[in-house]
Chain A
């Protein structure tokens, strides 16, 4: 195992450490009593309701709008179309120095154009006194179009894909040696084609916006994964200073990437509020979410592996085609894990893109790796059968010491340990390798494994910490809570850093008036906030120590921060730990925060990291980009894991049931054992859906999504999910704050491959096209 030098902070030594404990979520009571308010639930007197009208062609120009019937519905306040909408600024060009420019879901300036770019694009918004009137009126708006030729059939268009260009953040392709030649020369090889369908996030809370203007000041309640992007983007769009826009987002009803960008519903609610002079609420219908919020791109992937007879890989080729909308979207890093997982002599990876007349694609849980691991990890299993090797053994024989594609060091790599522990917990040794060889009554039983891999990210975060004389602490940072338990985790971190009880810490988040937080994406939020929070706590302790040192009575006089530890609600000399604990006066080894602040006549002490001034924001951005580039040059950072699953397949109907699951993950230090396990299980559940049932169907005749509902797009239900055994190796990553690696995405990766491999083991059938529905096994 090659490890980077250890330079992360030591963990606190106090007996009362919070980090690592399975502490209940701080918002548990609010969420279980119905008290938690989501974005459509803020009462405003005089609120009006909005509903969208969607285009019914894939590409064209609007030739006429008949709003007479809609306008005649009692209670209708406005029917806003491109014929009467006020002008808005078009989405800004993308700039890496202002990342909020990445936030536009599409490049369309809604209702400021007669052009239609996808089936479902909003072409009108109706505002009425009641929800029922708005929805009725929206159904009565008549729109006529001049249709234009359009391309939307991915299967037919993928041949027109072009290689993805690399930029500062994303790499479209890479090579080492001559993989094609090595493949041709390899004594054992597989060369396979896999496909994955489009997916939709289907957060249970449909996107909802409550918007209210007061003069040129705007308040928006919206469940978002990026408060500051939304604030800046709306400010630009509506021509007001960013300081005039407040985005409030304490509870986000699920997101999974779908609430990262700014989509039509948000913009049109703000527009409707401006036009009518009323506070306006719009909750998208479930169908409206499918029509106006992008999902995951479909993919076609080639994985070719060449090996010596002992299993040593000589060639690894992974190429992909995914789609973008002609009006936006980004590439998925489909080949990301294939650059890091196996020590092949020759490697070729290349991502290709095709633009279609469909709604932009967008990020969805582990964009790239979730579908990329399906292809790679199924192909590795297929090669193991060609070689007659156990699939875990094949992986171990190709486990790299350094990053295979470029020889960089791994910050942290524990896949061997993950497999060893997983095999034991799962009982892998009891598996007989022959497909179809295991049964339980009439059920065919199959066992499969696959690796999980997701890169680790860290973004800029501004944080303030205030310590009051009563010993309580307030952490303030505008981060996001979609269910990760962020406030709970950061309270644990602050409690340990300052040596106060968990209960003494309150965390404020989810509001643009707070110091700007990181976006909730790339599994990077917890680490990003933690890094700044730890620095802020250090600053705070330094200030408190300075106050203490002013007093002759303080046992801390003459002490430096390095010689002091925070514990028991105060600062104590590290060389005298154990004595004088809790003493409030000037004797002993230290004193409480209350004693220090009270004597100094201070109600509170505050420390901050990062700045929200214009200059401060730019400096933060520069710091982030330079740290990213430096990190990238030095080492490869990632979360990883080993997924084990058991399936039962009905030999007559092809029904697949997942009956057992063991996942072992290397996510560095675990901050909260309870919420970490929950998030890891959640990713596996979404992976079960991806493997067996999830598929957004695009009508190849007209480009319209055919199953825009939870009745026709099948996410896993209670009955589909067995007990999921997850565990973490809990070894700190020495390059990350507190040694923690994000846990939001890694566990969806590898999940579909583990199932596909188990299905093969049960039945002898290789399914290379997701989802593995009954018809593919008959």
Chain B
């Protein structure tokens, strides 16, 4: 059994350039957690079914457990640790606390990153299975839209009402803004 080859992977993670020597089989999730110590991103199933590992790549949400780190050479990764501005929390982070959008906290990083990506998708006009009129100029971000678009992120504690409440509150306060900062930072 031969030693696995090692590949140099360079990624900007939360604004910091990182260079890693990785076996090609290492997932982005394991690279973040085990190599970079960014354990805020969670492993819930390691097969793309729960969304706990959601991170933003160039502003788009992905399941980092289904991604090989080598595929993301040269890309911009934002994890839960990269949100907010120093001591100041991201509006969604505060809204999750106010709305009690979690209990155990294990799905929370994924929910928040996913919500940012989701709001950016919505802001860019992407429809969902809950969208009634695909040709409409603007899609109202109803609770049904939020629920449909967030259904890839499981919460076994059942804090769904609070999560939807937090997202609704932030989306209403700064329509179209959430997610844009991440996308702009990524460019």
Q: Which residues of A does B touch, CB under 8 Å?
A: 24-25, 27-38, 40-41, 43, 69, 72-74, 130-132, 201-206, 251-256, 283, 285-286, 482-485, 674-675, 677-679, 681-686, 709-711, 715-719, 721, 723-724
Contacts and interface: CB of A to CB of B under 8 A. Distances in A.
B42 A721 contact: no
Nearest to B160: A721
B146 interface: yes
Interface residues of B, number: 66
Contacts of B48: 711
Contacts of A677: 100
Interface in B84-124: 84, 89, 93-94, 96-98, 100, 102-109, 112
A130 to B, nearest CB: 8
B93 A678 contact: no
B34 to A, nearest CB: 6
A79 B98 CA distance: 48
Given A28-B97, A483-B104, A678-B100, 7 more contacts: A29-B89, A32-B108, A69-B1, A286-B46, A677-B100, A679-B103, A681-B161
Nearest to A688: B158
B147 interface: yes
A253 B158 contact: no
Given A34-B81, A251-B105, A684-B158, A718 B163 contact: yes
30 contacts: A32-B97, A32-B102, A34-B79, A35-B81, A40-B43, A73-B1, A74-B1, A74-B3, A130-B23, A132-B23, A203-B156, A251-B104, A253-B42, A254-B104, A254-B156, A256-B156, A482-B104, A483-B105, A678-B157, A681-B159, A683-B158, A685-B160, A710-B45, A715-B156, A718-B150, A718-B151, A718-B153, A719-B148, A721-B158, A721-B160
Interface in B121-159: 130, 143, 146-148, 150-159
Contacts of A69: 1
Contact of A204 (B38, B42, B89): B42
Given A678-B159, A685-B160, A35 B42 contact: no
Contacts of B147: 718-719, 721
Contacts of A251: 104-105
Contacts of B34: 130-131
Interface in B23-37: 23, 25-26, 30, 33-34, 37
A456 to B, nearest CB: 21
Contacts of B102: 31-32, 483
Contacts of B93: 29, 32-33
A685 to B, nearest CB: 3
B148 A715 contact: no
B106 A205 contact: yes
B50 interface: yes
Nearest to B81: A34
B65 to A, nearest CB: 11
Nearest to B97: A28
Contacts of A283: 43
A643 to B, nearest CB: 14
Given A34-B38, A74-B3, A682 B100 contact: no
B146 A204 contact: no
